[in-house]
Structure 1
Amino acid sequence: MGVAVGFAVRPLLPARGRLPLLVEATEPNTSLLAVFDELNELVDEHLLRDGGILFRGFQLEGAEQFRQFAAGFGHPLLNYEFGSTPRTNVTQGVYTSTEYPAHQSIPLHNEQAYSRDWPMKIWFYSMIAATSGGETPIADSREVYRRMPVAIRERFVSKGLMYVRNFGNGLDVAWEQVFNTEDREVAEAYCKAHGIICEWKDDGELRTRQTCQAVARHPVTGDMVWFNQAHLFHISNLQPEVRETLLDIVDEEDLPRNVYYGDGSPIEDEVLNEIRAVLDDCAISFPWQEGDVLMLDNMLSAHARAPFEGKRKVIVAMAEGHSQDVR
């Protein structure tokens, strides 16, 4: 596509379209921060069209420089509030990627699409590439929306989605970690401000319910995108033996997480299987190289994680919070 001072620009996988756009250093020892102004202009031009940009072959020295790079785009980095998975804070606004065991995969999803508040931008920095596997597959959420069976899409849009979460009890992330507080009133205030129904159970743990969108319209491009985590939160996402074991331990209403239609009725397993099939067809995968930085528009592009072997370290930053009214 073109060569600028210090880097070249082209689709990484032309046969799959323009996602992700590859921006690759053409001169050795080019610092990602040193060419930031030029890259910022390129991001302004391409991110909203292509959905994601992969910066490769640049020098970037650790988490602090990654923080500087992500923060340089003009929005303060976000704290990981009302998170759904375990993470560790690395430096201000920078977190580890989801700390699930290496053998587990994480399905395609848009960050925090299970809520009404999410980051518009998300960055991934590959500090250590896995010996094998460990890719971060991505997908065009506009394409997912277009390819979703119309009957499913219309049902999801008309009914909405209700996410139910039960924190703690050794089965999921503790509410104190999710809300970054040990004060019940602070957690309650967050829920009230964000349209989340919360209740304290007899065992002292917290249950929340929130009705959210199934699709969304990008506030800048106007594109419609598939934007939910029903396939990830639903109990059918668990391996059958894990699902059976959990239901032996707790009642359905006490599952760590589950999702229903917005009216509380169950979502059919076969519907979620169709949704997963569309996501699988739209997935774009490529191996990480150490030093890679991937920048996504979080509404236009979904991301996932493949199982891996060996050490792997990918850290994450998010910015530009956006809120959606669901009526």
Structure 2
Amino acid sequence: MTAMATVLKTTNLVMTSPLPLLVQPAQPGLSLHEVFAEIKALVDEQLYLRGGLVLRDFAVDNIAAFQAFAAAFGSPLLSYEFGSTPRSNVLDGVYTSTEYPPHQAIPLHNEQAYTLEWPMKIWFYCAQAAVQGGETPIADSRKIYQKIHAAIRERFTRHGLMYVRNYGNGLDVPWSQVFNTTDRANVTHYCQNHGIICEWKDDGELRTRQVCQAVAQHPITCDWVWFNQAHLFHISNLAADVRETLLELLDEEDLPRQVYYGDGSAIEDSVLAEIRAVLDEETVIFPWQTGDVMMLDNMLTAHARTPFTGPRKVVVAMAEPYARDNRERFIMDNKIFSR
């Protein structure tokens, strides 16, 4: 019997899905720190196969212990740059989950799939489970890619996606928060270095455009994944009354966020409806327990949030920045060769 088997036990958390793998201590009272070597060995073996693991019933005293656990995997924890949602910094490299009102659901998405650079690893720590709801549903991005209708997948792949964002004006996150600076020159420099077209408008606010991938190939497993946020950025994601009000008040180019095919043409509502139906089919949902830690491969597994009541505190850490242009370097840095 291996050392791993003596201190850890594993099973499917959801009976109908291999995602996520549930990992628990074989004896009570063990902390993540005490069995980190065994957990890391299990992650190395299972994360690329499963896409995600939930660590439950381990002693996690506080957010600082979670921070140390995530950092122990060896990559510096990332700051939240060019974010699309409001978050607050809790500790260095640890942020609140998206600070949308509790009654709102957040659709499935891969973190920062609306950019050309994203984190490969993401951890969640449930410091306080909600009284009701507040789950973090997940889904296999490989299965989503396979289930999307071939004609839709081909068009998205061929054209890519153009994300258009208008910041501030009380309608979306201010650009100073998104770029972590109040200096326009710093913003312009960041955009130039990251393939983002930026336009300073007459009212002092900012508009950006960026053409990004709709699908992506995992650098280690070589699996193709559905990797975009078209269904989330598109105005059809908003409630009908909110959508109508915005279109009465604003020209389309001034909407807080919108997405088009990469050539600038409109994405059909019917296409997005088909995509959302596939996402719904692949959603895996389970209740949080206070103290749970979930680790996901951000390319292989998408995540979401359900509405909730009562206090809820889930924090997030991210690591291993990746861009399509550095696939070979990423593989060598991780000393793993794709199969």
For the criterion TM > 0.5, the same-fold answer is: yes
Aligned to 1:291: 291
Residue in 1 that maps onto 2:48: 48
Pairing of 1:204-283 with structure 2 (within 5 A):
204-283=204-283
* Cα distance in 2 for residues equivalent to 1:267 and 1:147: 19
Correspondence for 1:306: 306
Aligned to 2:102: 102
Preserved CA contact (<8 Å) 1:197 1:208:
yes
Task: Tell me what 1:189 maps to.
Answer: 189
**TM-score after normalising by structure 2:** 0.94
Structure 1 residue 247, shift from structure 2 partner: 1.3
Alpha-carbon distance in structure 2 between the residues aligned to 1:31 and 1:221: 30
- For 1:9, the equivalent position in structure 2 comes to 10
Structure-2 separation of matches of 1:219 and 1:32: 28
CA contact (8 A) 1:139 1:284 kept: yes
**Residues of 1 paired with 2:232 and 2:110: CA distance?**
11
Residue 154 of structure 2 corresponds to residue 154 of structure 1? yes
The residue number in structure 2 matching 1:123 is 123
Q: CA separation in 2, counterparts of 1:266 and 1:301?
A: 27
| Superposed displacement of residue 5, structure 1 | 2.8
- For residues 236-276 of structure 1, give each alpha carbon's deviation from its aligned partner in whole angstroms, at most 9, with x where no partner exists: 00000000111122111001100000010100001000000
CA contact (8 A) 1:59 1:291 kept: yes
Residue deviations 1:59-111, cap 9 Å, x none? 11111111100011111000000000000000000000000000000000000
Tell me if the contact between 1:29 and 1:59 (Cα under 8 Å) persists in the aligned partners. Answer: yes
Separation in structure 2 between the aligned mates of residue 256 and residue 6 of structure 1, nearest angstrom: 50
Secondary structure at 1:157 match in 2? helix
Aligned residue in 1 for 2:37: 37
Alignment correspondent of 1:316? 316
Residue 10 (structure 1) shift: 1.4
Paired with 1:300 and 1:262, the residues of 2 have a C-alpha distance of 23
Q: What are the ranges of 5 or more consecutive residues in structure 1 without an aligned counterpart?
A: none
Instruction: Give me the TM-score of the superposition, normalised by structure 1.
Output: 0.97
Detail structure 1 runs of 4+ shifted over 6 Å in the superposition: none
Partner of 1:59: 59
Q: CA deviation at 1:325?
A: 4.5
State the alpha-carbon separation in 1 of the partners of residues 16 and 280 from structure 2.
17
Deviation at 1:15, TM superposition (A): 1.9
* 1:191-239 deviation line (CA, Å, top 9, x unaligned): 0111000010000000000000000000000000000000000000000
What amino acid is aligned across from residue 296 of structure 1 in structure 2?
L
Deviation at 1:145, TM superposition (A): 0.3
| Rounded Cα–Cα distance in structure 2 between residues aligned with 1:76 and 1:275 | 34
Q: Output the CA distance in 1 between the equivalents of 2:262 and 2:8.
A: 48
State the one-letter code of the partner of 1:134.
Answer: G
Per the alignment, residue 169 of structure 1 pairs with: 169
Q: Secondary structure at the match of 2:273?
A: helix
Distance in 2 (CA, whole Å) between partners of 1:275 and 1:325 is: 27
Q: For 2:34 and 2:234, locate their aligned partners in 1 and report how far apart those are by CA, in whole Å.
A: 45
Question: Partners in 1 of 2:208 and 2:54 — Cα distance?
Answer: 36
Which moves more between the two structures, 259-268 or 22-31?
Answer: 22-31
Match in the other structure for 2:337 = none
Separation in 1, partners of 2:104, 2:26: 36
SS at match of 1:5: helix
- For 1:167, give the aligned amino acid: Y
CA contact (8 A) 1:48 1:221 kept: yes
Q: Which residue of 2 aligns with 1:137?
A: 137
CA contact 1:116–1:325 (8 Å) conserved in 2 = no
SS at match of 2:16: helix
Structure 2: how far apart are the matches of 1:257 and 1:26? 47
Q: CA deviation at 1:28?
A: 1.7
CA deviation profile, 1:101-125 (whole Å, cap 9, x unmatched): 0000000000000000000000000
- Is 1:25–2:25 an aligned residue pair? yes
2:333 equivalent in structure 1: none
User: d(CA) in 2 for partners of 1:121 and 1:149?
Assistant: 28
CA distance in structure 2 between the aligned counterparts of 1:235 and 1:269, rounded to whole angstroms: 9
Shift of 1:281: 0.1
Deviation of residue 7 (structure 1)?
A: 2.2
